[in-house]
Every structure is written in C-alpha cells, then in structure tokens.
C-alpha cells in the first residue's frame, strides 16, 4: 500500500466531506503530476536546478496531501539536493520518482473508482 | 479549476463571509484551497500568478489573501512587496502558505514583509478557519476605522470650507456623517444645524443690505429721470424739435462717458457679437426719448410722469415670460397695485381735461413699453468685459448716430442757433444730457445688482419725482385721486421686492470629494 487513505480522509474532511470535490481533486492531481514529472525530467536533462527544485517542491506537498508518502519523501530529498545546484544522477533520481508515481497513480485510480461507485469513503 | 473560477460580485456580505483571494501557481493546490475556503462559507477567487492577483486586488473588493510563496516569475514575496507599497492594498491581510517543515526562513521573510500570518501547506480545516477568521476580523476593524477617519476628515474639511466662505451647509455632503449613531454623528448634527442657522442669518442680512442699497439708487434714478419730464415740457415751450433734442443729449452724454472711460483707461474694443445688442439698446433708448418729448409737448408733465409707471407691468410680463425672473403671486399682486394706480391717475386726468388727446396718451403709454423692453435687455446680457462708463457711452453714441440722419433730413440743424441764442433752452438741454448720462449709468448698476423687476420699480420713483418736479417747476396742480394713485404705487414697490440672491456653490474640489464619498 503506497497510499495512506487516512491522509485522503483528512483532505475529504478539509473540503467539507464532499465526494464530488474529492474526486475532482484526485483527477486534478492525476492530470497535473505527470506534467510536473515531465518538467523535472527536462530540468534534470538541461541542468536547470531551480526549475527542478520548484517542481519537486510542488509535487512533494501535493503528494503528501493525497497520502502518497513515498512519492513525497523522494521529492523532498530531490528538492533539498537541488537547492544548491544540480545533484549527481539527477535524471536517474527523477526516473525513480516517476516509477514510484506509477504505483501511486494506480492506487489513486482505485480510490477514484471506489469514490465514483460510492463504496468509499463510506 | 472550474469550481474555483472567480465568483460573481457579492450582493451582500453576510456576517462572517468574506471574499478570499487564493494565489497559487499549481492548479491542484488552488482547487484544494478553494474547496476548503468555500467549505467555511467564504467566497473564493483563484489566481495562478502574481500579476493577475494584483489586478484582481486593484478592483478593490478582496477581504483577505491566501498567498503561495513559491511561484515562477513573480514570487509571493514580490506580490507581498507590491501590495505593501500600494496605499490601497496595504491594509488587506495576507496569509502566506508554506511547508513549515523545510521553509521556516520563507515564513519569517513573509512576516517581515508584512504578511499577517502563515498557513502550512498541509493545513486542516480548524487551522484554516482560525487563521482566516482572525485576518478577516482584523480587516473589518480596519475598514471601520478607516471609514471613521474618512468621515472625521470630511467634517473637518466641511468646517474649513464654511469658515472660508458663506456656503449652504446642506450642500457640503456631511449628511452621511450626521446619520451615524455614535458621538461623531452627534457632533456632525450639532455642527450642521449651527452652520445652517448662521448661513440663513447671513443670507437674510445680505438680502436686506441689497434692498437698502437698491432703494437708495432707485430714489436717485427717480429724482434724476423725474426731472426729465418737466424739462422736456420746458424745452417744448421753446419749440425744440424732439429728434434734435435727443441727438444733442446723446452726443453730449456719450462724449462725457467715453471721455471718463478713456481717462480710466477702460475703453475696450467691442466683440463683434455684442454690436447688435448695443445697437438695439441705442435705438430703443433714443426712441424712448423722442416719444417722451412728443408726449410732454402735448400733455401735462405730471400726467406723463404718472403714465411712465406702466412699465412695471410690462417688465414683469417680459421677464417672467422669458424666464429671467420668477413670477409668484405676491410679486404679481405688487405689480397689479401699480397698474390700478396708473388707471386712477389717467381716468381722473381725463375727467378734469374733458377727454380728448388720446393720441398723446398713447404716445405716453408707448414710452413705458419701450422702457420695459430696455430694462429686460439691460439685465439679460450686458457684456461683462466692458466698463460701465464705456458701455453707456457707446450706447449713447449709437443713439446719436441713429438720430443724426433724421435731424439732418428734417432740417433741424438749421435751428441749432436757437440753442445758443436761447440760454434757457441751452441750459435745459445741458441739464437733460447730464441726467441721461448719470441716470443711465445708475440704471445699469441698479439692474445688474437687483434684477429688472426691482429696477423697473424706479419708474415709481421717476413718476413720484416727475410729479413733484412738475409741481415745483411748472406750477402744475395734483388732484386727490392722483395722491391715492401714488400711495398705491409705493405699496406696489414694497411688495415686488428685489430679485432673490443666488446661492454660492462650494469649491469644486470639495464637491468632487463629496460625490466620491
């Protein structure tokens, strides 16, 4: 389990326990995260550590909101490393984050389906 | 993003509900925060970058800002800085959003730049409600304070304006302040009522002074012009021709007045558009004089003098139909008394002389009609750039020019020698020229300061003095009915009264303030 459903429930609680709102939020995350990953990839390849740092920062905090702990921790590490300059093996690190995201995406997709069927969060 | 799109303007800001501007470059964060803010009952306006956030703020209806720090191009710090350097945005509270775990420095910097508070990225609803509530409450208090200060400022300015000039206090736009229920409102109400009393008192006082001054000038004009009637009759005894008399009077008068204007260095070129007006004045003036001479040559001077008062009715008819002055019942009644008085005088005169000579009566009646038109013309549009002496000198010169060909054609110049050989006639013409000159200037002053209806009251005075002079100089007798008529005329004069004084408007820049308020 790479998704902490408790965190998703906090989010659900924050927006006034609105299942439709939560579904929209998850859809937004699933739409935006790949864009951030692309941005990180390009920045790592071109050596732009500032863009890499900012994108990692954004993905870190949104991933945390959606209970994707592992993804968030990896992004946090990359954000800290890229703050001073381009870290070693930056592109490889972005690849690891992308692979982790595939798992996150699959699980969040499952949550979304449950939500839409009305089977979760109850 | 759809759900976070800018909302419609708030029709009513319910208590506790605020317009919250959320600024974050990341769509998912923006959506999360707008849903959270709406969940608390507020209105959410979302912007994805600094410039569009500042544009939204400049529209002036945002209560509080939730501001992300990390944004491309224009960071949250930049937005904060430009808000704090703008007097209109300075007081809008800003809550910076930051992940406190690794960004303590940016939170500190945000607070130093003037942010009200901070919110961690993974905030919970309780925290959001507490932070937003505190910021909104602070904004409300500040708004109340600013409104109070603004109204104090208005009151202070209004006091300064009232001290500088005599303006109607109800026009100073402080009614809004006086509608307050607190001490400031009470102060404004007391101030307003005191200022209004002072204003009304001063206004009444000035109106009395205008009446008094107008009355003096009116008597002077009456005494002068009243002399004209018996003098023209005296001149007619010497067989002087009316047109020649008018020509010489106007020539002498205009020479004197233009001479005065030249000495005072006040003679200005007349604008082309004003010539027709001045020519009309000159033509009407000489026509009135000639008619007067004709009438006095054939009727008792005192009777002509009495008929002259008819012009009151006519001036009032002219001025009220053209809208120069207001016609109310009281003033109409005053004029009505004057007309009755003339009727009594004419009818009693007819009875004594056994009727006849209606042509001369008609000529005499035409004189006030011409004068009435003359007064209204003078009051309506005297060129402001022309000196009084210059204006009157030019008008008299025009009269002389107009009468000149008539005098020439009738061969009256041949009798010019009569003026020199007849010392009495020469003396009479000189005095009449002086009267027309000084009287004309005084009439303009009177008409300008009191309005044409009041000025036309000088025909009462002219009549009164005309009768008095006729009795003194020509030994004419006055019947009891004539005295009754005179009494009625005096009453009419008192009832019509001078024109209402126009209210001064407060300075324009102050009124701009008031309309903005």
In DSSP terms, which residues pair with B94 in a beta bridge?
B65
Cβ neighbour number for residue A8 with a 10 Å cutoff = 22
- The beta strand positions in B48-174, using DSSP E, are 64-68, 94-98, 117-120
Q: Under DSSP, is residue B46 helix (H, G, I), strand (E, B) or coil?
A: strand
Size of interface A-B (CB pairs under 8 A): 65
ipTM > 0.85 (yes/no): yes
Q: Tell me if B28 and A10 make a contact (CB, 8 A cut-off).
A: no
Q: Tell me if A24 and B128 make a contact (CB, 8 A cut-off).
A: no
Tokens of A6: 């408790």
Question: Lowest-confidence range among B34-38, B82-86, B451-455?
Answer: B451-455
Q: Tell me if B32 and A11 make a contact (CB, 8 A cut-off).
A: yes
Question: Model confidence over A53-103: pLDDT tens digits?
Answer: 999 999 999 999 999 999 999 999 999 999 889 998 999 999 999 999 999
Collect all residues of chain A within an 8 Å Cβ-Cβ radius of residue B99.
57, 60-61
Collect all residues of chain B within an 8 Å Cβ-Cβ radius of residue A57.
70, 99
pLDDT band at A1 (very low <50, low <70, confident <90, very high): low
CA distance B75 to B72: 6
Is residue B300 packed enough to be buried (19+ CB in 10 Å), middle (13-18) or exposed (0-12)? buried
pLDDT band at B58 (very low <50, low <70, confident <90, very high): very high
Tokens of B494: 């008192």
Would you state the torsion angle of the CA atoms of residues B468, B472, B477, B479, taken in this order, to the nearest 10 degrees?
20
Establish if B123 touches chain A: CB-CB under 8 angstroms: yes
Phi, psi of B93 (to 5 degrees): -70, 140
Judged by phi (left if over 0) then psi (alpha if -120 to 50, else beta), residue A47 lies in: left
Residues of A with CB under 8 A from a CB of B: 10-11, 13-16, 18, 21, 24-25, 28-29, 31-32, 54, 57-58, 60-62, 64-65, 76, 79-80
Collect all residues of chain B within an 8 Å Cβ-Cβ radius of residue A80.
102
Contacts of B235 (CB under 8 A, 6+ apart): B245, B293, B425, B428, B429, B432
Collect all residues of chain B within an 8 Å Cβ-Cβ radius of residue A58.
25-26, 29, 70
Collect all residues of chain B within an 8 Å Cβ-Cβ radius of residue A82.
none
Collect all residues of chain B within an 8 Å Cβ-Cβ radius of residue A18.
35, 39
Indicate if the pLDDT at residue A31 is higher than 90.
yes
Give residue A71's pLDDT.
95
pLDDT band at B85 (very low <50, low <70, confident <90, very high): very high
Q: Please state, rounded to an integer, the average pLDDT across all residues of chain B.
A: 79
The whole-number average pLDDT for the span B506-516 is: 52
Question: Model confidence over B167-212: pLDDT tens digits?
Answer: 777 777 777 888 888 888 888 888 888 888 888 888 888 777 777 8
C-alpha of B449 from chain center: 13
Chain B interface, best mutation among A10, A24, A64, by max B CB count within 10 A? A24
Contact A2, A68 (CB under 8 A): yes
Share of chain B above pLDDT 70, in %: 80
pLDDT band at B326 (very low <50, low <70, confident <90, very high): low
B503, HSE (Cβ side, Cα atoms, 13 Å): 10
Tokens of A5: 């459903």
Nearest chain B Cα distance for residue A92, angstroms: 24
C-alpha of B48 from chain center: 55
Tokens 């009157």, located at residue: B392
Is residue B385 packed enough to be buried (19+ CB in 10 Å), middle (13-18) or exposed (0-12)? exposed
The whole-number average pLDDT for the span B428-438 is: 84
Q: Tell me if A54 and B123 make a contact (CB, 8 A cut-off).
A: no
Which residue from B28, B123, B124 is facing A28, i.e. has the nearest CB? B28
Contact B95, B117 (CB under 8 A): yes
Burial letters for A82-112: b for 16+ Cβ neighbours within 10 Å, e otherwise?
beeebbeebeebbeebbebbeebbebbeebb
- CA B219, B225, B229, B232 dihedral sign is positive
The structure's pTM equals 0.52
Which residue from A28, A31, A54 is facing B70, i.e. has the nearest CB? A54
pLDDT band at B49 (very low <50, low <70, confident <90, very high): very high
Contact A88, A80 (CB under 8 A): no
Phi, psi of A15 (to 5 degrees): -95, 20
Is residue B107 packed enough to be buried (19+ CB in 10 Å), middle (13-18) or exposed (0-12)? buried
B491, HSE (Cβ side, Cα atoms, 13 Å): 15
Collect all residues of chain B within an 8 Å Cβ-Cβ radius of residue A43.
none
């Amino acid at each position: 389990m790479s998704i902490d459903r408790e965190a998703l429930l906090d989010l659900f609680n924050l927006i006034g326990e609105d299942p439709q709102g939560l579904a929209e939020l998850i859809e937004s995350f699933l739409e935006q995260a790949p864009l951030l990953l692309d941005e990180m990839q390009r920045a790592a390849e071109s050596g732009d550590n500032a863009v890499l740092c900012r994108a990692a920062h954004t993905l870190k905090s949104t991933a945390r909101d959606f209970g994707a702990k592992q993804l968030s921790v990896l992004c946090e590490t990359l954000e800290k490393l890229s703050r001073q300059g381009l870290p070693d093996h930056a592109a490889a690190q972005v690849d690891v984050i992308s692979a982790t995201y595939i798992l996150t995406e699959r699980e969040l997709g499952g949550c979304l389906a449950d939500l839409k069927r009305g089977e979760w969060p109850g | 993003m759809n759900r976070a799109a800018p909302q419609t303007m708030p029709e009513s800001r319910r208590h506790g509900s605020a317009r919250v501007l959320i600024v974050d470059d990341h769509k998912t964060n923006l959506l999360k925060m707008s849903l959270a803010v709406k969940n608390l009952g507020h209105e959410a306006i979302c912007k994805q970058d600094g410039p569009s956030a500042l544009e939204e703020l400049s529209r002036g209806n945002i209560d509080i800002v939730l501001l992300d720090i990390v944004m491309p191009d224009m960071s949250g710090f930049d937005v904060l800085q430009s808000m704090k350097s703008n007097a209109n945005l300075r007081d809008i509270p800003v809550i910076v959003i930051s992940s406190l775990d690794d960004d303590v420095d940016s939170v500190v910097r945000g607070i130093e730049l003037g942010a009200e508070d901070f919110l961690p990225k993974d905030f919970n609803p309780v925290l959001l409600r507490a932070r937003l509530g505190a910021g909104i409450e602070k904004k409300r208090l500040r708004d109340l304070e600013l409104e109070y200060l603004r109204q104090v400022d208005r009151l202070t300015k209004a006091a300064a304006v009232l001290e500088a000039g005599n303006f109607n206090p109800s026009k100073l736009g402080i009614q809004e302040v006086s509608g307050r229920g607190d001490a400031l409102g009470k102060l404004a109400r007391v101030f307003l009522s005191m200022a209004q009393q002072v204003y009304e008192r001063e206004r009444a006082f000035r109106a009395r002074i205008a009446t008094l001054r107008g009355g003096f000038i009116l008597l002077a004009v009456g005494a002068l012009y009243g002399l004209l009637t018996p003098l023209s009759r005296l001149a007619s005894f010497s067989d002087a021709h009316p047109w020649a008399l008018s020509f010489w009077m106007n020539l002498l008068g205009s020479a004197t007045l233009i001479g005065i204007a030249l000495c005072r260095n006040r003679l200005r070129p007349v604008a082309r558009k004003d010539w027709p007006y001045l020519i009309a004045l000159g033509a009407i003036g000489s026509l009135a004089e000639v008619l007067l001479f004709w009438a006095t040559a054939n009727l008792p001077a005192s009777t002509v003098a009495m008929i002259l008062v008819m012009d009151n009715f006519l001036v009032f008819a002219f001025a009220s139909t053209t809208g120069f002055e207001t016609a109310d019942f009281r003033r109409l009644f005053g004029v009505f008394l004057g007309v009755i008085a003339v009727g009594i005088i004419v009818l009693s005169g007819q009875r004594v002389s056994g009727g006849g000579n209606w042509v001369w009566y008609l000529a005499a009646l035409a004189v006030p009609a011409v004068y009435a038109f003359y007064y209204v013309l003078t009051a309506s549009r005297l060129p402001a750039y022309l000196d009084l002496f210059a204006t009157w000198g030019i008008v008299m010169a025009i009269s002389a020019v107009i009468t000149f060909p008539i005098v020439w054609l009738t061969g009256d110049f041949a009798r010019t020698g009569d003026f020199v050989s007849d010392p009495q006639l020469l003396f009479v013409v000189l005095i009449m020229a002086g009267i027309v000159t000084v009287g004309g200037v005084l009439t303009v002053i009177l008409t300008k300061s009191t309005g044409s209806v009041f000025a036309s009251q000088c025909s009462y005075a002219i009549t009164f003095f005309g009768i008095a002079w006729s009795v003194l100089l020509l030994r004419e007798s006055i019947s009891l009915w004539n005295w009754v008529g005179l009494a009625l005329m005096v009453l009419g004069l008192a009832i019509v009264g001078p024109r209402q004084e126009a209210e001064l408007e407060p300075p324009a820049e102050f009124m701009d303030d008031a309309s903005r308020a």
